[in-house]
Amino acid sequence: MVYQIRIKGHLGPGWTDWFEGLTITLEENGDTLLTGPVVDQAALYGLLRKVRDLGMPLLSVIRV
């Protein structure tokens, strides 16, 4: 399944490896959109823990 995870604030492209290859899109409003395939719920929770560890507010998680 493909997910879009939106967080408040900008991440640089160097974070792609840390976010397991998700595409990082910086939006003009200051948000970052992480998009890509997530193999299962455990992997999704792992990604959400990484967002939490960064201390950046999670805005939305959408399955595309």
For each of the domains in the chain, give its residue range(s) and CATH number, in order of start. Answer: 2-63 (3.30.70)
Mean pLDDT of 43-55: 95
Averaged pLDDT score across all residues of the chain: 93
Side chain identity at residue 62, one-letter code: I
Q: Are strands 31-37 and 58-63 parallel, antiparallel or unpaired?
A: unpaired
Mean pLDDT of 22-38: 95
* pLDDT at residue 35, rounded to an integer: 96
Side chain identity at residue 10, one-letter code: H
CA angle 6, 12, 18 (to 5 degrees): 75
pTM, 2 dp = 0.91
- pLDDT for 20 beyond 90: no
As given in the structure block, the two tokens for residue 63 are 């399955």
As given in the structure block, the two tokens for residue 59 are 């805005």
β-partners of residue 6 are 33, 60
